[in-house]
Structure 1
Amino acid sequence: MNQTITFGEVLMRISPLGNRKFVQSNAIEFYFGGTELNVGISIANFGGKVKHISCISDDFIGDTALSYLNKFDLDTSSIVRSSRPLGVYFLEVGAVMRPSSISYNRSHSSFSEIKPEMVDWKTALENGTWFHWTGITPALNRGSQQTLLEGLKLARKKGMTVSADPTYRAGLWKYGENAKEVLSELINYSTIYIGGINEINELLETNYSYSNDDFIKASKHLMEQFPSIEKVFDKIRTSINSSWHKIKARMWNGTEFKETNELDITHIVDRIGTGDAFAAGIIHGLQHFDDYKAMEFGNAACAIKHTYLGDVNYANEKDVMTILNGNTTGRFTR
């Protein structure tokens, strides 16, 4: 069976209960997540085999995180441990016209210590057929960027499919490297691009608009610049307010453009990890369906993630297919 490899930081999320601000509450709840981990767990929930590679704290918090990963039957054999603490982020969940707020505490986390010599990529990728990475990991520090690069080089040498979600967050790039140059090098080892116009414009230093015509032009330009890229998938989000969003997806696979119908999410339970759910849906879809159905699956996976508390999409393949097939009533199943 296909094994998907994900590599990235494991984080603990801490939030006040409900939609409270920290100043309102003495009670908190916590979840484990992380961009690439969210993708891996979601794929596992769809029935896929997944290995997650990371560096986590060698203490009871790290043990708890590892137990959480094992609950989803993830292969954790290539996770290394560190004396540094697990990375943490604090989230205040907004509502209606009040946006959510996030504060990160990850500069000196266990994952910040990772270096290429800490990961035996030959062993880690032994059963891998698909490697997924995001722009979060190379943005954190030079060690994670170099470790990822080594993994990608070997993955492509092995003929693995490599999906890139080159999320660009300017506030993360603080260790002196040029984000565009780093991401460009990594994308040269990638075959599937999961990202929007903003990321393409950052990479190509262009000014494409959000129209479908410009999306096609941007995708063609991206493929010319990075010949290894075979397909481009983009998620479009329309925000009515913090609690009500609409989403749809579109793609260019080198020969045709297609887009999905829009899904209306009128009451968001939790927005964190929805982009990761989209990426996981695309990856699972491309491993089992044609390009268009894969895109529909990704869009439906993204939509249903908005209904789960926490960073992770707990939906299985049947749950997503129900949404994909148009059943969005939320009626009881018996």
Structure 2
Amino acid sequence: MKKVVTLGEIMLRLSTQAGERLSQANQLMMHYGGGEANVGVSLSHFGYDVYFVSKIPNNPLGLGVKRHLQSHGVHTEYLVTGGERLGTYYLETGIGERSAKVTYDRKYSSFSKLLVEELDFDEIFKDAALFHLSGITPALSARLQEVALIALQKAKEHGVMTSFDCNYRASLWSHQEAAEAFQSLLPYVDICFCGELDAIYLLGIEQAPDTLTREEKLVFYYKKIKEIYPNIHYMSSTFRDVHSASSNDLQGTLFVDGSLYVSEKHAINPIADRVGGGDAFAAGILYGLLETLSPQSSVSFAAAASALKHTIYGDCNTFTFEEVFQFAENGSGKILR
């Protein structure tokens, strides 16, 4: 099995029941999750040897993280123990026309205090095929910007394919702060998950002409990004049409060698849980690239994986690659006998 490494913060998620405000809730559903951890869980279910790098507290919640990851086949040897708390976030579940709302409680978490000196990147990247990171990690502290940069540099030294999801969160930092950090990271990235808004507000690309279609605009932005960062070989994102919190249309895109490949549209209604849908899509793209599928097959697989994730609760996608291919081939709503 190919070795995959992901690095990031895993948090405790506490969610309301649908139709309930956080301020009125008297019980919450509990899950563990985080962007890079979610990608790692998906890739583990796809059959890869996944290692998650992070820092967690030495308390029952830290133990819960280990058990969560191990239950999905993710290796925890590279987890550093220390600090006093696990980052937490509260999800007020959306329904109908009311959007979901996230409230973070992650300051001073164990992961935010992770130091480069605590990680042996030569051991971590030994024999690895892929390293995945997201923009959430450098958003959390200046020291984590250093960790992210050195991790990408070390991965490239070891000949590891690198993946970066911009994953901008306005509640964590400004456009300017993110743009400055990304400029230092992107020269070491092979695969970049970014969309139109990332191109305009984080990477400084001028807006595409309004006369272009949605697909043509994305090609415009991706070609401009490729001019600035010729090292980026693949760019990917999704088109999401939001009809309500419970009903979305989803399409995936993958830009390779100057061409944009677009998946079929998935009409997802009702949505059980949208959180982690983007991570499931990213894992699907990474699977396609690791398995050298055609670009069209890769983006179709990724969109199908993301659509399936929307049907289960929690942050993580637990479908195998066989189940994703079966869903993509058979379509939705059919009984599998």
* 1:49-79 C-alpha deviation (Å, 9 max, x unpaired): 1110000111111011111111112111111
Q: Is the 8 A contact 2:223 2:258 kept in 1?
A: no
User: What is residue 295 of structure 1 aligned with on the other side?
Assistant: 299
Partner of 2:246: 243
Show the counterpart of 2:121: 121
Partner amino acid for 2:189? Answer: S
Are the equivalent residues in 1 in contact too, given 2:83–2:113 (CA < 8 A)? Answer: no
The 2-side partners of 1:126 and 1:233 are apart by 27
2:107 aligned with 1:107, yes or no? yes
Taking the TM superposition and a 5 Å limit, the aligned residue runs for 1:126-275 are: 126-173=126-173, 178-201=177-200, 202-208=202-208, 211-275=214-278
Tell me, in whole angstroms, the C-alpha distance in 1 between the residues paired with 2:22 and 2:173: 27
* Structure-2-length-normalised TM-score: 0.94
Alpha-carbon distance in 1 for matches of 2:88, 2:266: 32
Write the letter of the residue equivalent to 1:240. Answer: H
Moved over 4 A (4+): none
Identity among equivalent positions (%) equals: 30
Deviation of residue 252 (structure 1)?
1.9
Distance in 2 separating the partners of 1:83 and 1:178? 26
C-alpha separation in 2, matches of 1:16 and 1:312: 18
Gaps of 5+ in 2: none
Which residue of structure 1 aligns with residue 27 of structure 2? 27
CA distance in 2, matches of 1:323, 1:196: 26
Distance 1:131 1:81, change over 3 A: same
CA distance in 2, matches of 1:231, 1:307: 28
The offset of 1:326, in angstroms, is 4.0
Q: TM-score, normalised by structure 1?
A: 0.95
**Whole-Å separation in 2 of the counterparts to 1:50 and 1:71:** 12
Which residue number in structure 2 is paired with residue 97 of structure 1?
97
Query: How many angstroms apart in 1 are the aligned matches of 2:222 and 2:265?
Result: 21
Structure 1 equivalent of residue 319 of structure 2: 315
SS in 1 for 2:238: strand
| Counterpart contact for 2:45–2:73, Cα < 8 Å | no
Whether contact under 8 Å (1:95, 1:242) holds in the other structure is yes
Cα RMSD (Å): 1.6
CA distance in 2, matches of 1:147, 1:58: 21
Deviation at 1:256, TM superposition (A): 2.2
Structure 1 unaligned blocks of 5 or more = none
Please state how far the C-alpha of 1:97 moved relative to its aligned partner: 0.8
Structure 1 contact 42–280 (Cα < 8 Å) conserved: yes
> What count of residue pairs does the alignment treat as equivalent?
332
Q: Is the 8 A contact 1:220 1:254 kept in 2?
A: no
Which stretch shifts more, 203-212 or 33-42? 203-212
SS at match of 2:171: helix
Q: State the shift of 1:95 in Å.
A: 0.4
Contact 1:48/1:284 (CA < 8 Å) preserved in 2? Answer: no
What amino acid maps onto 1:63 in structure 2? L
Q: What is the distance in 2 between the residues matched to 1:19 and 1:3? A: 42
SS of residue matched to 1:44: helix
Is 2:76 aligned against 1:76? yes
1:132 match: secondary structure: strand
Counterpart AA for 2:151: G
- Indicate the SS of the match to 1:333: coil
